[in-house]
Amino acid sequence: EKYRLVTYTMSGGIKESEEYLSIRLMYRGVPYNYAAGDHDQDYNQNLFEDKNGNNGYVVSDGITAMLLIGDNVTRTEYTDIDAGSFIYDNNGELCFIAKNGALFYSGPGNEFVVQGDKKYASFDYVYSPIQFTSSNVPVYTSVDYINDYQSIYSLVIGDEIQKAYRDKDKKLAGPEFTGGVYDVQIQSDGDITYYGSVFDQSTEGREAVMYNTAYVVNGVMSELYPGLGGVKTNSKGESISVISPDGDYYSQDLIRLNGKKGKINKENFTSIVDYGFTPKGDIYYVGMKEGNYEQRIKPEYQLYIDGLLIGKYEMMLYQGMGDSYELVKFNDKGDYAFAVSKFYYYEDYPEEQVPDASAYVITNTGKQDPKIMVPGITKTDFDYIEYLFYTTNGKLFYNGGISNYPENITYSQPVIDGQSPGNIYNSIANVHYDKLSNVLTFIGGRDNKLYNVRIDFN
């Protein structure tokens, strides 16, 4: 079975390509973030385009892979090309991952990076994304396949595997990473960072953590920790992260990775669900203690900023849009805001009675109490809060939701600095905030009509 690519333009009408055994769309070699807004929209934004705006395709005649971009077909010497690995380097040369002797996913061996006319060293597996140093040398991940149960993962710069060391002088070699190398980043100052994990066969316990992980900066690794989470660093170079001290997923501590190393939280928590630095560089975190529904023990969230307990809450609600979701939001001045709600037991309410979630926003000046504008609603708190964020000039926006369950109607009420602009909607969608213009846009639905809404915060 063979395929043709069919294109249509108003000026040129219908065009058909030659026949190929396979045709695959080319995508940019960047990680796809499933937390970011409209999945289809984001997925399409990762489609590869050349410098003229043309999409590309990897096509094959069964012998070699070819690049079909616009009207141009380029035959390569490679058996297969990873259609999701394309990117331009710092000089505008096309780069991708290719394979010789077999197709991708058919087995290990002979995978490599291609940068313009240059072919780099071969490995059993090579993973995108490909990034580039300031000297335009590719940075990527390779895998040395040992057997179906064991592989060694490495960071590669150019042709060379980069070892990880336990000391700054790089005399004491670290372990081989058998659990993975991931989240490779080239920082704005040129530092290359990533996480390397080692498979731990000795781990036991309830849903035990199977990997010990280190954070690696320019080839120098931190200690190996069970369940190491994302590392956050402030302007002073202080780094913090979470670990699973008991070797399972039912306890977490927040720790300092450098400077005065050690545990930060004084109480024990099931998990640290949000953490980082305030704009002033102080540590904040939210610790969660797991409840037990059957024993009617409610969960508890505790927020700490600079070592001070701000409050304890039954539920805290993740807020944001796109790929930025946190429990606590800050503006540049250090003001903070977060959303909370009640935890309730469904069996406490008759079938016809709807539980009152009582969701509201708390800031550093206290609880916000905007007047609910929905006709016929007498409650003082919303049912849910969404899209909470600070604008570039420090204003606080969020959407308060009300659910009228008997009539199966929902209401959305925008709130700015604790006050409602006035209009309410039955739903809102396609919410987008542009930081440069300081303008929020969304589509609001009300009374079977759609409105393009624009809020200027200037």
Residue 342: count other Cβ atoms within 10 Å of its Cβ: 15
pLDDT band at 324 (very low <50, low <70, confident <90, very high): confident
3-state secondary structure at position 348: helix
Per-residue pLDDT, 229? 92
Residue 311 one-letter amino acid: G
Cα distances (Å, whole numbers) of residue 73 to 9, 13, 29: 19, 20, 21
pTM score, whole prediction: 0.83
For residue 150, give the nearest of 194, 108, 213 by alpha carbon.
Answer: 108
Q: pLDDT at residue 3 above 70?
A: yes
Q: pLDDT at residue 209 above 70?
A: no
Q: Contact, 179 vs 164, CB < 8 A?
A: no
pLDDT in tens, 102-139: 999 999 999 999 999 999 999 999 999 999 999 999 99
Q: pLDDT at residue 37 above 50?
A: no
3-state secondary structure at position 19: coil
Q: What is the mean pLDDT of the chain?
A: 90
For residue 288, give the nearest of 320, 324, 251, 318 by alpha carbon.
Answer: 251
Q: Contact, 322 vs 303, CB < 8 A?
A: no
Task: Give the residue, 8 or 400, on which the prediction is more confident.
Answer: 400
Q: Contact, 284 vs 278, CB < 8 A?
A: yes
Q: pLDDT at residue 31 above 80?
A: no
